[in-house]
Structure 1
């Protein structure tokens, strides 16, 4: 009996040791991957010299051909570029096909669709889900960039007070700060190094990121270059103003938290109620489906839920 207990304890110890090792491997792999992309531009510069470094980084994000908004493809490239993702056209098509297959399966299983309506629903579902994922990723990147921007401006201010030119201060930000602001300011520095104007570089930076605070920085630098003044003091005031905006935004999010959680509860409640009744009384909704109007009823309910979420979102989302 004691031998069996010792053997069992030995197996438990080995299993725990393997589990800890696996967790540590996963954590170390994630840390190493984060370190590799801490500044993507610097990683590209280790393999590519000169102005081709930031051009390659832009091409990876689909921005190498410019961001002229004269066509749908240019708008699509700009939107993908603002997410910071490096997705090729082949991968985008593969993801859309995967989402469409999932929508095809879900519409047949949950909505009872078939034929042409099922195909149309799967295509709309694939496009909507792809746009939603990219929108969330873009918004997350813009929020991260906005949180990093005051610190980056402080680095520029300290560099200017130490007697460095503005180009060197921007280069310091690109070297010392992680992505996304490190690589973006690195691209701005390289563009200025190889002949681009600062204002045009700032406008291109806004096109690549999409954060409205960059427009404030662009206007600040443009006005200072046109009228003169202490640039470091102006940038220091701008940094304080951006921090105040972020603080006000966090307060607004805290005040509107109840409304936002109510919106999510109202969104999930109909689905939870449906599956709860379905589990308790499986034949409860059979008359609805047998009447032939079940698909129209479900579609109408989903549309009303969607517009209700939009209305609640507008009520709790404040612009300032």
Structure 2
């Protein structure tokens, strides 16, 4: 094989490789946004199904069935107390994680409600009934409120009453905004009031409440940060001193009076945190 043949083979192979890489990059650019949107939607739906719509008994049964083999393995490899400690840590962590995700979901739905009510009002002003307006406005809503209203539509289609559907919606999302929407719709359906005007006022009221909460959060940001710093500063100072000069912390760590002092410090830090929470009220840690 002469030099020119080898050159053309190498050139052809290099061209094919770079063409394939370029086509692959174009495919990634073309399908990245749809894939991200699909992944976001599927993840949100999976979290809804796992954290919201699954009954508590089924949730803990699944968690227990997943953890039991791991706990038995820890007991066999280490000790029973290690297994018990791991079970407590995992249970508390799962509870806190689920609570955090639910609170985040509540905040998102509360913020999305005014725009959703505006869509309802627009559809009802066009002559649609409340059920038809709910069905027409659902595809235009962002997640997670779209998933909640889609569930309400499915429940209405299988024959459940509007009152029961709204009550179940409030049971899943127990916020003041959802309660106000529930009462407004129920009163309008029962007594035939000017539902469009009432919903418009409700949307305006919810927006004003959201602006007020954001203003309180802005005004209390420094105080909230000071509360967090006052909790973390003693801990950071203690660990820094222990790392730099361990002899300074030996009395606290290896003597009974020192252990009592550490416990007293934790109690005082907790009391200070509670005082800051009481002073700031609901504006704390938002």
Indicate whether the TM-score tops 0.5. Answer: yes
1:63 aligns with 2:53: yes
CA distance in 1, matches of 2:146, 2:42: 6
Q: Which residue matches 2:173?
A: 209
Deviations 1:3-33 (A, max 9, x none): xxxxxxxxxxxxxxx9xx99xx79x768734
Residues 79-118 of structure 1: pairs in structure 2 closer than 5 A: 89-90=62-63, 94=67
Residue 248 of structure 2 aligns to a residue whose secondary structure is coil
Residue 246 of structure 2 aligns to a residue whose secondary structure is coil
1:255 aligns with 2:205: no
Residues 177-188 of structure 1: pairs in structure 2 closer than 5 A: 177-188=141-152
Return 5+ residue gaps in structure 1 as ranges: 1-17, 45-56, 66-72, 81-87, 102-114
Q: Deviation at 1:35? A: 3.5
Q: Which residue matches 1:5?
A: none
Q: Deviation at 1:279? A: 2.6
Q: TM-score, normalised to structure 2's length?
A: 0.73
Q: Which structure has the larger Rg?
A: 2
Aligned residues: 252
Higher helix share: 2
Residue 166 of structure 2 aligns to a residue whose secondary structure is helix
Relative contact order, CA 8 A, sep 6+: which one is greater?
A: 1
Change in Cα spacing, 1:37 to 1:168, as seen in structure 2 (3 Å) is farther
Contact 1:146 1:213 in 2 (8 A): yes
Return 5+ residue gaps in structure 2 as ranges: 1-20, 75-79
Change in Cα spacing, 1:199 to 1:39, as seen in structure 2 (3 Å) is farther
The counterpart of 1:170, out of the listed 116, 134, 141, is: 134
Change in Cα spacing, 1:30 to 1:257, as seen in structure 2 (3 Å) is farther
What value does the CA root-mean-square deviation take over the aligned residues?
3.9
Q: Which residue matches 1:246?
A: 210
CA distance in 1, matches of 2:109, 2:157: 23
Q: Deviation at 1:168? A: 1.6
Change in Cα spacing, 1:245 to 1:191, as seen in structure 2 (3 Å) is same
CA distance in 2, matches of 1:171, 1:120: 49
CA distance in 2, matches of 1:139, 1:40: 17
Q: Which moved more, 1:249-258 or 1:164-173?
A: 164-173
Q: Deviation at 1:245? A: 0.5
1:156 aligns with 2:120: yes
CA distance in 2, matches of 1:58, 1:195: 23
CA distance in 1, matches of 2:224, 2:52: 34
The counterpart of 1:298, out of the listed 251, 254, 262, is: 262
Q: Deviation at 1:142? A: 0.7
